């Protein structure tokens, strides 16, 4: 994953007036005792230049006091805007689960994704269905979950990260940033980016990627995620 970019303070969603947002509450067990952990707030955004086109997502995770808990930004390759939005949501959920944040509030400017996660819209796109199912699977692992829609102007920081991810993927310099001189990269390094595992879900005998892309005709080696982790631990 691309190196995160440090951002400033953002006002947590729970401090805004109720008229600014719509919210929905999910619990995987209505009899569960009230959680004592504090909420983490994830501002997520995804974008595509061309739809489909070069795409990326950005995520900023804050604590209830506004402190920055994490920042995520990744180029996804040629994807649609909606796939990029879901990729940002999945990244936020993965961060929460891996870092022990059992109560998560997601803020997004994608009305489609928010209403699909709430169950207000059906997921008809075959590209979005596996992403939606994976998101619901991760949500079920949390103690409490909320998701709300805001206008794009109230999600600027995550939008900046998503655009920076697309800039990096397209080898473009972010606007307003001073150029920094550096030693020229070797031709091999420039043409062959570091290889990293891509996550996917097996369904009906086919593998649906959750992130990233693989060129047509590429020969790949597939192994379960658990086995990959065990192999990495022995190396």
> Domain holding 156: CATH number?
3.30.420.10
Are 51 and 90 found together in one domain?
Answer: yes
For residue range 138-189, list pLDDT tens digits in order. Answer: 999 999 999 999 999 999 999 999 999 999 999 876 554 433 333 333 333 3
**Rounded Cα–Cα distance for residues 178 and 101 (Å):** 36
**Rounded Cα–Cα distance for residues 107 and 179 (Å):** 33
Tell me 30's DSSP state: T
Number of domains in the chain: 2
For residue 121, being part of any structural domain is answered with yes
Are 135 and 70 found together in one domain?
Answer: yes
pLDDT at 235: 45
Q: What angle do CA 64, 119, 40 make, to 5 degrees?
A: 10
Are 219 and 138 found together in one domain?
Answer: no
Q: Which domain holds residue 216?
A: 196-234
Are 165 and 222 found together in one domain?
Answer: no
CA distances 148 to 73, 120, 145, 182, Å, are: 21, 13, 10, 42
Are 161 and 64 found together in one domain?
Answer: yes
CA distances 138 to 19, 90, 99, 120, 134, Å, are: 29, 8, 13, 19, 6
Using pLDDT thresholds of 50, 70 and 90, give the confidence band for residue 192.
very low
For residue 132, being part of any structural domain is answered with yes
CA distances 106 to 121, 135, 181, Å, are: 18, 12, 38
Are 19 and 123 found together in one domain?
Answer: yes
For residue 219, being part of any structural domain is answered with yes
For residue 159, being part of any structural domain is answered with yes
Within 35-186, where are the H helices? 81-98, 111-118, 129-139, 156-169
CA distances 122 to 15, 22, 112, 128, 233, Å, are: 31, 18, 10, 11, 40
For the chain, what percent of residues have pLDDT higher than 70? 62
Contact status, residue 108 vs residue 151, Cβ threshold 8 Å: no
Are 101 and 142 found together in one domain?
Answer: yes
Exposure on the CB side of residue 52, measured as CA atoms within 13 A:
8
pLDDT at 214: 65
**Rounded Cα–Cα distance for residues 93 and 107 (Å):** 12
In this prediction, residues 97-116 reach a mean pLDDT of 97
In this prediction, residues 70-78 reach a mean pLDDT of 97
| Across 126-130, 149-153, 194-198, 228-232, least confident range | 228-232
**Rounded Cα–Cα distance for residues 19 and 123 (Å):** 27
| Across 75-79, 111-115, 124-128, 181-185, least confident range | 181-185
**Rounded Cα–Cα distance for residues 97 and 114 (Å):** 20
Q: Which of 153, 169, 185 is the last residue of a domain?
A: 169
pLDDT at 27: 43
Residues 6+ apart with CB under 8 A from 21: 13, 107, 148, 149, 150
**Rounded Cα–Cα distance for residues 43 and 33 (Å):** 27
Whether 38 has a pLDDT exceeding 60, the answer reads: yes
For residue 69, being part of any structural domain is answered with yes
Whether 44 has a pLDDT exceeding 50, the answer reads: yes
For residue 176, being part of any structural domain is answered with no
**Rounded Cα–Cα distance for residues 15 and 54 (Å):** 34
Are 70 and 161 found together in one domain?
Answer: yes
For residue 155, being part of any structural domain is answered with yes
For residue 183, being part of any structural domain is answered with no
In this prediction, residues 119-136 reach a mean pLDDT of 97
């Amino acid at each position: 994953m691309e190196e995160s970019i440090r951002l400033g303070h953002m006002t947590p969603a729970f401090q805004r007036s109720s008229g600014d947002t719509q919210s929905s509450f999910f619990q995987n067990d209505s009899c569960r005792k009230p959680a004592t952990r504090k909420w983490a707030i994830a501002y997520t955004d995804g974008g595509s230049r061309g739809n489909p086109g070069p795409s990326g997502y950005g995520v900023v995770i804050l604590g209830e006091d506004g402190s920055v808990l994490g920042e995520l930004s990744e180029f996804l390759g040629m994807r649609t805007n909606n796939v990029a939005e879901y990729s940002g949501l999945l990244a936020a959920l993965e961060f929460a689960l891996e870092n022990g944040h059992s109560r998560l509030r997601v803020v997004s400017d994608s009305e489609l994704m928010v209403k699909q996660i709430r169950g207000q819209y059906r997921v008809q796109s075959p590209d979005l269905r596996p992403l939606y199912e994976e998101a619901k699977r991760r949500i079920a692992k949390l103690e409490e979950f909320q998701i709300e829609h805001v206008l794009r102007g109230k999600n600027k920081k995550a939008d900046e990260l998503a655009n920076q991810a697309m800039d990096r993927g397209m080898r473009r310099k972010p606007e307003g940033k001073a150029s920094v001189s550096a030693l020229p990269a070797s031709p091999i390094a420039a043409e062959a980016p570091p290889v990293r595992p891509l996550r996917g879900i097996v369904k009906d005998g086919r593998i649906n990627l959750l992130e990233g892309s693989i060129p047509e005709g590429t020969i790949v080696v597939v192994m379960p995620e658990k086995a990959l982790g065990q192999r990495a631990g022995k190396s």
